[in-house]
């Protein structure tokens, strides 16, 4: 059951990713990227990362990609014009790419033999601060405790980073008032 | 495993049927409420008191010509209403309507699925609902639709921020993301609700204001107002696709009202414990409604009312008797309280629609970024302090 | 088999990353280049969470969370820069934005 889910959503992710790279109009690329993020969110759920899956949909698919789509709609630049495509590059490139991917998969397979398998519910929290019921290791409780104890400094630094980004975006996109 | 699948399928069917009927009749209620606020009768002729008006509307929308203009971007044009209605209905799947119910020996929650991060799921699905509107505006290839779509999506994502912060404050108090546990922690009467005991009045108000903007309702409905932008993002849509946007808006309204009930008003808990007679309240209310309807039926001015009001009176009295039966009290009375609270918030939606004028777009955006968001942050800060410092 | 081998997730992450690199190198529209960067970041997030599952610790989730936050900040500023570039050059083709070239 987990294998079927993984295969379905991994296929959707790869097809959408190829679509992102191949499509001419930026809107189609953007929507395919939303599809990639959605299927990745399901894969995170399989890996027990519930909070990150929800954050992926809320932040990435629901805010960042909406921002992309806004900019594409505002600029309205239209589809990309292809010029200078050589078929020789296609003939040489795609088999080389496939060969590279096969070698890479073989190496990954040999480093991580079949031993560790992922199944839904395999990541349980073992910390002593959980209550009598075991929680998923990636639940909001676990992520929250780690975020505010061990990773407090990066958390505060990223807050400042977001503030800087907000100021930068406002300054860059503002119309001159004179 | 089999029983689980059959029970789940049965629950899905029941919830879907009830939800679709509620969506249709919510429109009837809205038209009646706004009509009475404006001192006119509203839908009155189609069936007794216009009760068959939603049916007439559905028949009209289904049989209308489904026109797909030739200049639209077809895949996105067809995808947009689908996305809107799917996301709107998906968030109902984690809303609990009551405690557990036992049917034919199987005990199950009155909820389609109890995720332990239910609040995040609802937030995620409502974030995705923005795509339906943005794509509808873009694919229509129409200036007014594009401006309406962009304004509407910008409004929705701007108001998601105070909404999330207003949701975070009672979560600090209840300490759980599961919607069922939220209600279980507010058990015991009105003084345990997050609104009173947790002091979350400001959060409640911020949540309601942000919910009005999220669902594109008055006073924040400039992007789809009829006298401003033709019809906003759904200008080029007809028949069932237009109906999808309509249904999506009402389903979103139901979702945010249910969330407000679960987060702030204690879900299906009665305002005072059952020992002091709160299980009799539904029966009393319906009996009173039945008596009033019978009285007005007998002394009616309009000839049609002389026939319809007594029928309604008898129906209400029968429902009152049903509420007194001991075998259904375990699940029917909590369901009544949940529906009463959600209905109260929905009535507030309609009340405000009939009362307030609409904001201009720059006033709307200025309101959220300069006032609502800082207030929500301050509220979260104060709640955090109180939770941390009080034992 | 009763589960999914870990290497499958890492392979998927590698494929997505490679596709992101391909999009970054071969596309001419500046917004599509930006989206390929986001694709690469997503692939890395998948990798982080996979390793977090393998080591049964939650730290990978935290790192993925920070990657998401940084990606959000980068998207905001990057899109503002793209808007400014479009206002000045009226084109989104990165081949035409070459006034610094000699």
Mean pLDDT of B247-258: 93
CATH architecture label of C28-93: Orthogonal Bundle (1.10)
Contact A54 B154 (CB under 8 A): no
The Cα of B184 is separated from the nearest Cα of chain A by a number of Å equal to 17
Mean pLDDT of B119-130: 93
pLDDT given at position B305:
77
Q: Is the pTM of this model over 0.95?
A: no
Q: Is residue B89 situated within a structural domain?
A: yes
Q: Read off the pLDDT of residues B297-334 as tens digits, 9 standing for 90 and up.
A: 888 777 777 788 888 888 999 988 888 888 787 888 88
The Cα of B123 is separated from the nearest Cα of chain A by a number of Å equal to 7
DSSP secondary structure, A33-82, as one string: HHHHHHHHHHHHHHTT-HHHHHHIIIIIIIIIHHHHHHHHHHH---PPPP
User: Are the CB atoms for B155 and A89 separated by under 8 Å?
Assistant: no
Q: Is the pLDDT of residue B275 over 80?
A: no
C-alpha distance across the termini of chain B, in Å: 44
- The overall average pLDDT reported for chain B is 87
* Rounded distance between C-alpha atoms, residue A178 and residue B379, angstroms: 37
Q: Read off the pLDDT of residues B150-182 as tens digits, 9 standing for 90 and up.
A: 888 899 999 999 999 999 999 998 888 889 888
Q: Is the pLDDT of residue B137 over 70?
A: yes
* Rounded distance between C-alpha atoms, residue B327 and residue B236, angstroms: 51
The Cα of C25 is separated from the nearest Cα of chain A by a number of Å equal to 10
Q: Is residue B179 situated within a structural domain?
A: yes
For B294, phi then psi, to 5°, come to: -65, -40
Contact A146 C1 (CB under 8 A): no
Contacts of B130 in chain A (CB under 8 A): 62, 66
- Which has the closest alpha carbon to A42: A112, A113, A118, A115? A118
Give, for all 102 residues of chain C, the pLDDT tens digit.
Answer: 678 888 889 889 999 998 999 899 888 889 999 999 999 999 999 999 999 998 888 999 999 999 999 999 999 999 999 988 888 888 888 888 777 776
The Cα of A84 is separated from the nearest Cα of chain B by a number of Å equal to 28
pLDDT given at position A127:
67
pLDDT given at position B195:
84
* Rounded distance between C-alpha atoms, residue B129 and residue B252, angstroms: 9
Contacts of A76 in chain B (CB under 8 A): none
- Find how far residue B265's CA is from the centre of its chain: 14
Residue written as tokens 């539904």?
A: B282
Nearest to A54 among B76, B117, B130 (CB): B117
Helix axes B239-264, B118-139, angle to 10 degrees: 150
Residue A31 near chain C (CB below 8 Å): no
Q: Is residue B309 situated within a structural domain?
A: no
Q: Is the pLDDT of residue B122 over 90?
A: yes
Q: Read off the pLDDT of residues B198-250 as tens digits, 9 standing for 90 and up.
A: 778 999 999 999 999 998 887 888 776 655 556 677 777 777 888 888 889 99
For B98, phi then psi, to 5°, come to: 180, -175
pLDDT given at position C90:
83
DSSP secondary structure, B251-288, as one string: HHHHHHHHHHHHHHS-TT--SS-GGGTGGGHHHHHHHH
Q: Is the pLDDT of residue A167 over 80?
A: yes
Contacts of A62 in chain B (CB under 8 A): 124, 127-128, 130, 157
Mean pLDDT of B275-289: 84
Contact B131 A66 (CB under 8 A): yes
- Specify the higher pLDDT residue, B175 or A152: A152
Nearest to A70 among B116, B150, B160 (CB): B150
Contact A40 C46 (CB under 8 A): yes
* Rounded distance between C-alpha atoms, residue C16 and residue A35, angstroms: 13
Which has the minimum average pLDDT: A124-138, B307-321, B364-378? A124-138
Percent of chain B with pLDDT over 70: 97
B89: helix, coil or strand? helix
* Rounded distance between C-alpha atoms, residue B389 and residue A16, angstroms: 49
Nearest to C35 among A20, A59, A168 (CB): A20
Q: Is residue B317 situated within a structural domain?
A: no
Residue A52 near chain B (CB below 8 Å): no
Nearest CA in chain C to A50: C61
* Residue B328: other Cβ atoms inside 10 A: 13
Rounded to whole angstroms, what are the CA distances from A173 to B152, B174, B365, C77? 20, 41, 17, 9
Contacts of A136 in chain B (CB under 8 A): 116
Mean pLDDT of B266-274: 83
Look at chain B and report how many structural domains it folds into: 1
A contact residues 104-123, partner C, Cβ 8 Å cutoff: 104-105, 108-109, 111-114, 116-119, 122-123
- Which residues span the domain enclosing B167? 60-268+360-389
User: What angle (nearest 5°) sits at the alpha carbon of residue A30, between those of residues A27 and A32?
Assistant: 110
Q: Is residue B186 situated within a structural domain?
A: yes
The Cα of A94 is separated from the nearest Cα of chain C by a number of Å equal to 11
Contact A158 C77 (CB under 8 A): no
Mean pLDDT of A121-142: 73
- Complex ipTM over 0.90: yes
Residue A38 near chain C (CB below 8 Å): no
Nearest CA in chain C to A2: C3
pLDDT given at position A113:
65
The Cα of A108 is separated from the nearest Cα of chain C by a number of Å equal to 6
Q: Which of the residues B127, B150, B172, B176 would you substitute to probe the A interface, choosing the one with the greatest number of A C-beta atoms within 10 Å?
A: B127
Q: Which of the residues C34, C50, C65, C96 would you substitute to probe the A interface, choosing the one with the greatest number of A C-beta atoms within 10 Å?
A: C65
Residue written as tokens 């389903």?
A: B251
Q: Read off the pLDDT of residues B52-98 as tens digits, 9 standing for 90 and up.
A: 888 998 888 888 888 888 888 888 888 999 999 999 999 999 999 98
pLDDT given at position B128:
93
User: What angle (nearest 5°) sits at the alpha carbon of residue A112, between those of residues A107 and A113?
Assistant: 100
Q: Is the pLDDT of residue A132 over 60?
A: no
pLDDT given at position A114:
63
The Cα of A47 is separated from the nearest Cα of chain C by a number of Å equal to 6
Contact A60 C71 (CB under 8 A): yes
User: Are the CB atoms for B349 and B217 separated by under 8 Å?
Assistant: yes
Residue A54 near chain C (CB below 8 Å): no
**Does C contact B via 3+ CB–CB distances below 8 Å?**
no
Percent of chain A with pLDDT over 70: 88
pLDDT given at position A95:
85
* Rounded distance between C-alpha atoms, residue A174 and residue C47, angstroms: 38
pLDDT given at position B228:
59
Contact B153 A70 (CB under 8 A): yes
């Amino acid at each position: 059951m987990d294998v079927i889910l993984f295969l379905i959503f991994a296929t959707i992710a790869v097809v959408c990713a190829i679509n992102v790279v191949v499509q001419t109009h930026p809107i189609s690329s953007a929507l395919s990227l939303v599809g990639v993020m959605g299927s990745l969110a399901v894969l995170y759920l399989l890996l027990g990362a519930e909070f990150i899956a929800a954050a992926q949909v809320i932040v990435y698919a629901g805010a960042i990609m909406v921002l992309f789509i806004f900019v594409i709609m505002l600029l309205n630049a239209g589809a990309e014009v292809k010029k200078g495509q050589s078929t020789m590059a296609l003939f040489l490139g795609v088999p080389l790419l496939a060969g590279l991917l096969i070698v890479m998969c073989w190496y990954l397979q040999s480093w991580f033999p079949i031993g560790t398998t992922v199944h839904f519910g395999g990541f349980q929290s073992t910390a002593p601060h959980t209550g009598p019921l075991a929680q998923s290791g990636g639940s909001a409780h676990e992520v929250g405790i780690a975020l505010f104890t061990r990773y407090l400094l990066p958390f505060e630094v990223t807050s400042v980073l977001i503030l800087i980004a907000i100021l930068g975006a406002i300054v860059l996109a503002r119309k001159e008032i004179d | 495993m089999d029983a689980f699948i059959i029970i789940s399928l049965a629950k899905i069917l029941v919830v879907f049927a009830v939800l679709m009927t509620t969506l249709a009749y919510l429109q009837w209620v809205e038209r009646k409420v706004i009509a009475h606020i404006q001192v006119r009768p509203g839908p009155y002729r189609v069936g007794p008191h216009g009760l068959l008006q939603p049916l007439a509307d559905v028949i009209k929308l289904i049989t209308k010509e489904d026109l797909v203009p030739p200049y639209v971007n077809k895949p996105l044009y067809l995808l947009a209403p689908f996305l809107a209605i799917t996301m709107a209905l998906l968030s109902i799947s984690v809303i609990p309507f009551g405690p557990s119910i036992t049917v034919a020996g199987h005990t199950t929650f009155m909820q389609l699925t109890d995720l332990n991060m239910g609040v995040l799921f609802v937030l995620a699905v409502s974030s995705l609902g923005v795509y339906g509107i943005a794509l509808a505006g873009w694919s229509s290839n129409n200036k007014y639709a594009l401006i309406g779509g962009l304004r509407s999506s910008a409004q929705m994502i701007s108001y998601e921020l105070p909404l999330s912060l207003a949701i975070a404050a009672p979560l600090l108090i209840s300490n759980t993301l599961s919607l069922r546990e939220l209600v279980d922690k507010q058990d015991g009467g009105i003084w345990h609700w997050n609104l009173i005991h947790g002091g979350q009045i400001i959060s409640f108000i911020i949540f309601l204001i942000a919910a009005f903007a999220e669902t594109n309702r008055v006073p924040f409905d400039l992007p789809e107002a009829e006298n401003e932008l033709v019809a906003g993002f759904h200008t080029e849509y007809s028949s069932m696709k237009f109906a999808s946007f309509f249904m999506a808006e009402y389903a979103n309204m139901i979702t945010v009202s249910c969330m407000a009930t679960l987060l702030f008003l204690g879900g299906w808990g009665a305002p005072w414990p059952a020992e002091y007679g709160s299980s009799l309240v539904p029966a009393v209310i319906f009996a009173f409604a039945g008596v009033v309807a019978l009285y007005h039926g007998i002394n009616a001015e309009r000839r049609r009312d002389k026939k319809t009001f007594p029928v309604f009176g008898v129906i209400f009295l029968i429902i009152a008797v049903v509420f007194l039966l001991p075998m259904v009290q375990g699940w029917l009375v909590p369901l009544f309280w949940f529906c009463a609270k959600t209905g109260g918030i929905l009535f507030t939606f309609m009340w405000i629609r009939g009362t307030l004028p609409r904001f201009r777009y720059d006033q709307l955006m200025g309101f959220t970024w300069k006032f609502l968001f800082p207030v929500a942050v301050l509220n979260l800060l104060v709640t955090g302090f109180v939770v941390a410092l009080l034992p | 088999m009763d589960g999914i081998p870990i290497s499958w997730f890492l392979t998927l992450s590698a494929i997505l990353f490679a596709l992101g690199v391909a999009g970054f190198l071969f596309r001419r529209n500046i917004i599509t280049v930006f989206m390929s960067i986001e694709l690469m970041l997503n692939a890395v997030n998948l990798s982080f969470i996979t390793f977090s599952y393998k080591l049964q610790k939650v730290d990978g989730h935290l790192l993925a969370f920070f990657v998401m936050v940084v990606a959000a900040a980068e998207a905001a500023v990057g899109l503002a820069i793209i808007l400014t570039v479009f206002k000045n050059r009226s084109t989104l083709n990165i081949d035409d934005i070459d006034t610094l070239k000699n």
